[in-house]
Amino acid sequence: MNSEAKKTLRRLVIAVPLMFAFGFALVPLYDVFCEVTGINGKVFQSENADKLVIEEGRPLGLQFISTNNENMPWTFEPSEKVMTISTGKYYTATFYVKNTTDKKMTAQAVPSVAPSNAAAHLKKLECFCFEQQELAPGEEALLPVKLLVSNELPEAIENIILSYTIFDITEYDDEALAHHDHKDHHEMEH
């Protein structure tokens, strides 16, 4: 092996674990970024949401979007893509999730709201995004989100899009990764 190939190999040995670690750090980094900047409509649980419940609210369209982060093999989709709701009332929506792999995995969903100025008026009493979701191989579940949109939502906003991206945050042990990498390498040779 020539010196140029050795240099490249050394760089790869360092770069690959760093990229892998960065992938795991993305979810907490995203949380901190959204909390500090308020960008991307990150929604947090509200403790005073009961004060926002009213008799007569105005109608509002609520659209749900689900996205799988790259390398996340699960099935993940909203039970209903669109709901018509009223401001000032609680509603529960669900997302269907299934672990399509043959190994136990852990996931974390990260929410986003559009338009971003609607985020301050969207209150969640319960959300699957508050906790990690662990599913056994082939296991499926309906994950709830209980929410309320404040009647103080600006009149110009007639529709809100609530989007969730699901990330694989499973802690893989080194042996499983080595076996997986060896298997991929072995398959590439054939």
138-158 average pLDDT score: 95
Any idea which fold 41-189 has? Ctag/Cox11 (Pfam 04442) (2.60.370)
Q: How many CB atoms lie within 10 A of CB 178?
A: 11
Distance CA 29, CA 21 (A): 12
Q: In this prediction, what percent of the chain has a pLDDT beyond 90?
A: 57
Dump pLDDT digits (tens) for 14-36.
877 777 666 666 666 666 555 54
User: Is the pLDDT at 1 greater than 80, yes or no?
Assistant: no
Residue 139, token pair as written in the block? 């296991």
User: Is the pLDDT at 37 greater than 90, yes or no?
Assistant: no
Contacts made by residues 45-51, CB under 8 angstroms, sequence distance 24+: 45/123, 45/124, 45/125, 45/127, 45/130, 46/123, 46/124, 46/125, 49/123, 49/124, 49/125, 49/148
Residue 58, token pair as written in the block? 């105005």
Residue 109, token pair as written in the block? 């969903």
Dump pLDDT digits (tens) for 99-112.
999 999 999 999 99
Tell me what the pLDDT averaged over the chain comes to: 82
Distance CA 19, CA 64 (A): 31
